[in-house]
Structure 1
Amino acid sequence: MKIYTKKGDQGYTSLFGGANVEKNSLRIHAYGTVDELNSIIGMVLTHSLSDKGKKMLNEIQSQLFVLGADLATLHSKEAKIERIGSGDIQKLENWIDELEEDLPALTSFILPGGSPAGATLHMARTVCRRAERNTVALKQNDPISAETVIYLNRLSDLLFVLARYENRQAGEPETPWQPRKKK
């Protein structure tokens, strides 16, 4: 099977189920950004990480494929695909709680950065927030599963906490944001 089909040469692509949409549609922005996020998580996995972080990120990558397929499928009762659900969201919340047990409480905003893994996790968090914004925009125009927005919101929280955790594991201190002094 060839990788190129030439079907998208006119600016359209097919969703799961066969519907054709323009490549710049809100739906394509939403699941395309989820795909971008998955790639950045793949980049995070090339860095030195804790075993806990590797395990979480590998599972998240699989969940993001489910989420991408969910967003690439028109929402209907006939669509027989796996969708992100409340159990996936609960797992993210459990992971956040577990990681936070090993972290000091935040007393100020922190600047993104730290170890290569931590800095890349901060980048993943910002892409996750963009995926969330794109998914909210899609939700305003097309029906989608309510859990998709909740999942992305919780995932960005997890990526933030995981960045802090991996930086701590690597011995990298957090840099507090210092507001400018008023003149």
Structure 2
Amino acid sequence: MGKRLTKIYTRTGDGGETGLGDGSRVPKTHARVGAMGDIDELNAHLGLVSEHLKSTAVEALTHLAPFLDRLQHRIFDLGGEVSIPGFQLIHDYHVDRIETELDQMNSELAPLENFIIPGGSVLIAQCHVARSVCRRAERSLIELGETDTVNPPGLRFLNRLSDFLFVLARYCALKTEQPEHLWQKDDEPSAG
């Protein structure tokens, strides 16, 4: 483990700059800092999903909590990777692990024939919140990549994770016997 923080506040960021993992300082409005913040927020939302999974009485869902816990560690790694330009902690095998879990859950689901509206339970809705935050983190990383080097497996990791979270929401609906909230077209106003 790196340096131990004995004091939470340093006052070094009071002027609108923050330190990166390599020791350099950048404005808090820098795309790298934005991506780091979105990744951190994603991790917090994934923590909520994991805790909701652990609190269900459905074994098919509680067994997924350790996988989500491991994902949180990899997301933390991704944040570290982004905080040190040129550093790599996420690899293609991390993406492969997500795909394996995603495919396993998806094999039990009915084919998707309509758009899904988030809801059905707090757990299902939280999966969708985490998915949408994951998409934002991915966009932030893409934006950073427009001006700086970004590790391609990190981008693939976020892309696949958002797919995983979408499938997880559907899987939670199936295993908790909640009907999926399907999008419905608005009724056309009657003429006359």
Q: What's the TM-score bracket when you normalise by the shorter of the two chains?
A: over 0.9
Kindly state the Cα deviation for residue 18 of structure 1 after the two structures are TM-superposed: 0.5
Q: What is residue 32 of structure 2 aligned with on the other side? A: 27
Q: Is 1:102 matched with 2:108?
A: yes
Q: What is residue 3 of structure 2 aligned with on the other side? A: none
Gaps of 5+ in 1: none
**Which TM-score applies when normalising by structure 2?**
0.89
Question: How far apart in 1 are the matches of 2:188 and 2:81?
Answer: 48
Q: Deviations over 1:75-116 (max 9, x none)?
A: 1xxx5xx51110001111111100011111111111111221
Aligned partner letter, 1:3 = I
Q: What is residue 41 of structure 2 aligned with on the other side? A: 36
Q: What is residue 51 of structure 1 aligned with on the other side? A: 62
Compare relative contact order (CA 8 Å, sep 6+) and give the higher one, 1 or 2: 1
Q: Which consecutive segments of 4 or more residues in structure 1 shift more than 3 A?
A: none
Select the residue among 159, 179, 182 that pairs with 2:185.
179
Q: Is 1:62 matched with 2:73?
A: yes
Kindly state the Cα deviation for residue 146 of structure 1 after the two structures are TM-superposed: 1.0
**Which TM-score applies when normalising by structure 1?**
0.93
Kindly state the Cα deviation for residue 148 of structure 1 after the two structures are TM-superposed: 1.4
Gaps of 5+ in 2: 1-5
Q: Is 1:18 matched with 2:23?
A: yes
**Further displaced range: 173-182 or 88-97:** 173-182
Aligned-pair RMSD on alpha carbons?
Answer: 1.2
Q: What is residue 133 of structure 1 aligned with on the other side? A: 139
Q: Deviations over 1:119-138 (max 9, x none)?
A: 10100000000001100000
**Further displaced range: 97-106 or 124-133:** 97-106
Q: State, as a whole percentage, how many aligned pairs show the same letter.
A: 39
Kindly state the Cα deviation for residue 51 of structure 1 after the two structures are TM-superposed: 2.2
Aligned partner letter, 1:168 = L
Question: How far apart in 2 are the matches of 1:63 and 1:22?
Answer: 26
Q: Look at both structures and tell me which one has the larger radius of gyration over its CA atoms.
A: 2
Q: Secondary structure, in 3 states, of the residue corresponding to 2:157?
A: helix
Report if the CA contact (8 A) 2:51-2:65 is conserved. no
Q: What is residue 146 of structure 1 aligned with on the other side? A: 152
Report if the CA contact (8 A) 1:53-1:166 is conserved. no
Question: How far apart in 2 are the matches of 1:28 and 1:17?
Answer: 13
Aligned partner letter, 2:99 = E
Kindly state the Cα deviation for residue 46 of structure 1 after the two structures are TM-superposed: 2.5
